[in-house]
Amino acid sequence: MLILSALFAAISGLVTFVKTTTRPALKVNRWHRWSGLVVALVLLMFASSGGLHLVKMSIKDLDKPMRMEPGFSLAGLSVFPSHQIRQFSPVIKDVSLSGLDNELFYRVERAKDVAAGSAHDHHQHHSDTSHDQKPDSHTVQYMDAVTGKLSTLTDHERAKHIALELSGFQRDVIKETRNIPHFDGEYGFVNKFLPVVRIDFDTESNDSIYIHTASATLASHITTTDRLEGWIFAYLHKWHFMESLGHDIRDSIMALFAFMISITTLLGMILFARRISWSRQT
């Protein structure tokens, strides 16, 4: 209702401005007319982009995140190999059981600060190979759940397997994979899952699939249409076009326009009260 009310106010204000051809005699009327034009344009930009985003997110929320079924048997497992897992790191953030091509693996995710320290040591002792490491890829390792040995399986390869299984795409259309450790850009906080692996596909709609490997969940599937809507929301609703000025200045300008809406509303109420008073006198 709030979005619809804002749209109605913006459109009615623009229509009134266009239809009013005579110059208002009173100064308060002139102020209300021109401030109303600015407010109407800002409201139209704000409400239309917000309404479009609200409709899109409402439709998207009807679909539960796709999750790959485990599809493995625990018959070959007898005990949890806590001793072997501790050898990877003294501080473990998460451990989960994963299945891939009829094999079982423990996905071991180390705490980020510990992993960062090990990466720093690795850079000092092996500077000739450290540049090949993907960001944060060293925080996750896979261990064979039956033998207890460290596996060569990577989080990116696991993410590709899940993405192909859930999307139906073919492996030969995969362009690139990368780690997403925090919410940013097109993968915002509404997606809920972190960290994830982003997989870009060479398709007509430039599909990007975000996989949360710890739970084998397709966290988000973004296409060109989604990016267009996201751009509209970011630039017309959240005013990212002013980010070069800094967040404080951008927020101050947005607050100024909100203040103008209040002033224009107050002027409108004054004019409305005057009109009622004049009509009673006559």
DSSP structural state of residue 136: T
Environment class of 106 (CB within 10 Å of its CB; exposed 0-12, middle 13-18, buried 19+): buried
Cis peptide before 195 (omega within 30 of 0): yes
Report whether pLDDT(169) > 80. Answer: yes
Does the pLDDT at position 282 exceed 80? no
Averaged pLDDT of the chain:
76
Percent of the chain with pLDDT over 90: 16
270 or 166, which is more confident = 166
pTM: 0.66
Q: Could you report how far apart the first and last alpha carbons of the chain are, in Å?
A: 37
pLDDT given at position 115: 45
Confidence bin at 207 (pLDDT 50/70/90): very high
Q: What is the pLDDT of residue 117?
A: 47
Q: What does the pLDDT look like over 180-202, one tens digit per residue?
A: 988 888 888 878 888 899 999 99
Residue 193: C-alpha distances to residues 12, 44, 160, 179 (Å) = 42, 33, 17, 13
> Residue 74 above 70 pLDDT?
no
pLDDT for 79:
62
Q: Which of 10-14, 217-221, 256-260 has the lowest mean pLDDT?
A: 10-14
Give the residue with greater pLDDT, 89 vs 271.
271
| Residue-level pLDDT at 179 | 92
How many other CB atoms sit within 10 Å of the CB of residue 136?
A: 19
Average pLDDT over residues 208-222: 91
Helix (H) or strand (E) holding 145: none
Count the neighbouring beta carbons within 10 Å of the beta carbon of residue 76. 10
Residue 134 has pLDDT above 70, yes or no: no
CA distance 158 to 168: 15
More confident residue, 127 or 216: 216
Q: Convert the pLDDT of each residue in 12-71 to its tens digit.
A: 777 777 777 666 655 666 666 777 777 788 878 877 777 777 777 766 665 666 777 666
Residue 171's nearest CA partner among 185, 183, 179, 159 is 159
Q: Write down the pLDDT at residue 136.
A: 46
Q: For a pLDDT cut of 70, what percent of the chain falls above it?
A: 71
